[in-house]
Structure 1
Amino acid sequence: MAESPEIVVTVETREGRGSAEAGRMRHQGMVPAVVYGGGMPPVPIAVDEHSIRELLKGAAGENTIFLLKLKGTDEERLAMIKELQVDRISGHFIHIDFIRITRGHKLTVKMPVELVGDCVGVRHGGRVDFVTRDVEIEILPREMFDKFVLDVSNLEVGEHLKVADLASQLPENAKFLEDENRVVAVVEIPKIIEEPVEEEIEDEELVTAEAEEPEVIGKGKAEEEEEAE
């Protein structure tokens, strides 16, 4: 299960605004963040980047439910990462959105899909195309799980598996928010792109023809005089 209330992430309130303040926090290893939802107003906070990286090492990753504790107080609340912005160059976190979790109230989450199995279609020359890597679902916090696991062992070339094929893994009160006919994985024959060799041959023939053609050199003065005689 992805609900892990024993995991505590300590945060502190954030007063400053703007890029300069955000840069100062990141220099100190803190990440600007906000927590919202649960019928309460959003609160700007700052969180230690290392603590979030440790949290993400868990099997559920961003779908882990944990205790968000405000530093220096007894205030704590179940929460989950809703959105995580990452700098593509440095890999550091830029901003994090946390959402408050209320027991008994359903969540909307994107559940990752993992493909397993030795696909028979691959042995026959095909390639598995992983089309849909996560599926949006509605689920109760107590029913949260880590991921969908889809076995592609029996897929032949030209065959596919859909979102509906994950239905047996849905908890009792959960439901898909995706089109159940959406393709998750398909086995296809890789397309071979042929190189345009005809143009190269034509170019070579043209070069050969030009090379065989005798070079025309202007007549010298002596030759012109001989012809005149």
Structure 2
Amino acid sequence: MEGEGIDMSTVLSVRKREAGHRSTLTQLRKGGAIPAVIYGYKLDSTPISISAKEFKKFVQKNGRNGVFPMELDGTRVNVVVSEVQQCSLKDEVNHIDFLAINMSEELEVDAAVSLVGESVGVSEGGILMQPNLEIKIKVKPTEIPETIEIDITKLAIGDSIMVADIREQVDFDIISEDDYTLVTIMAPVASVEEEEVEKNEE
């Protein structure tokens, strides 16, 4: 799924804020805003606040990997989310780091991996393990994929898919190493135990 569907007409309005006293930050959050910082292309690091409602709406529509068009003091900037700090007890965003980008230059982002299809190995009782949920890619901002889909239909018990197996199937550079494991089908626990018992009896 390519990032071309991003609605670049929706411009998020953000405001500069005073850098962080805790009481000020708490007040901001109570008022429905998220404290954030924006830095990067043609910008010094600037503390800002953004409407929590607008941010959530944009993420639901375009995904967290999307390019966020922003207006700061009358200037339009394009940014991506660099880091999000969330409250572990509530599903709330505490702070966001936004990276201002040059739309014509490639950048490194973490793209989510989604598995498609049902593995042969799983239907035979194997256990699906997904040790890494994201891979690092280098891509132009307008081409950031929402997810990278991996077909696992042919995976049998004992099989794995690593970055090396998908590198040629995608249209962008993958920064992650070739041996970075994305999915493995493990043998069922019971059969592993039976094999060990059999070995011990021999």
Q: TM-score range by the shorter chain?
A: 0.7 to 0.9
2:71 maps to what in 1? Answer: 69
Q: Is the 2:85–2:96 contact (alpha carbons within 8 Å) kept by the matching residues of 1?
A: yes
1:215 maps to what in 2? Answer: none
- Counterpart-to-counterpart distance in 2, 1:168 and 1:55: 32
% of aligned pairs identical? 25
Give 1:133 deviation, angstroms. Answer: 0.7
2:125 maps to what in 1? Answer: 125
1:6 maps to what in 2? Answer: 9
2:94 maps to what in 1? Answer: 94
CA deviations 1:189-227 (Å, max 9, x no partner) are 232498xxxxxxxxxxxxxxxxxxxxxxxxxxxxxxxxx
Q: Is the 2:67–2:142 contact (alpha carbons within 8 Å) kept by the matching residues of 1?
A: no
- Counterpart-to-counterpart distance in 1, 2:53 and 2:168: 36
- Indicate how the Cα distance of structure 1 residues 136 and 16 shifts in structure 2: closer, same or farther if over 3 A, else same: closer
Segments of structure 2 that go 5 or more residues without pairing to the other structure are 194-202
- Counterpart-to-counterpart distance in 2, 1:38 and 1:16: 20
1:137 maps to what in 2? Answer: 137
- Counterpart-to-counterpart distance in 1, 2:66 and 2:111: 11
TM-score of the superposed pair, with normalisation by structure 1: 0.77
Q: Is the 1:62–1:82 contact (alpha carbons within 8 Å) kept by the matching residues of 2?
A: no
One-letter amino acid of the structure 1 residue matched with residue 60 of structure 2:
K
Give 1:116 deviation, angstroms. Answer: 1.0
- Counterpart-to-counterpart distance in 2, 1:111 and 1:6: 23
The correspondence of residues 96-115 of structure 1 with structure 2, limited to 5 A, is: 96-115=96-115
Q: For the aligned residues, what is the CA RMSD?
A: 1.8
Give 1:167 deviation, angstroms. Answer: 2.0
1:54 to 32, 53, 57: 57
Q: Secondary structure at the match of 1:62?
A: coil
- Greater RCO structure (CA 8 Å; 6+ sep): 2
- Counterpart-to-counterpart distance in 1, 2:111 and 2:169: 11
Give 1:55 deviation, angstroms. Answer: 1.6
Give 1:169 deviation, angstroms. Answer: 4.3
Give 1:120 deviation, angstroms. Answer: 0.6
2:46 maps to what in 1? Answer: 43
- Indicate how the Cα distance of structure 1 residues 16 and 130 shifts in structure 2: closer, same or farther if over 3 A, else same: closer
TM-score of the superposed pair, with normalisation by structure 2: 0.87
Give 1:143 deviation, angstroms. Answer: 2.4
Q: Is the 2:19–2:47 contact (alpha carbons within 8 Å) kept by the matching residues of 1?
A: no
Segments of structure 1 that go 5 or more residues without pairing to the other structure are 195-229
One-letter amino acid of the structure 2 residue matched with residue 159 of structure 1:
D
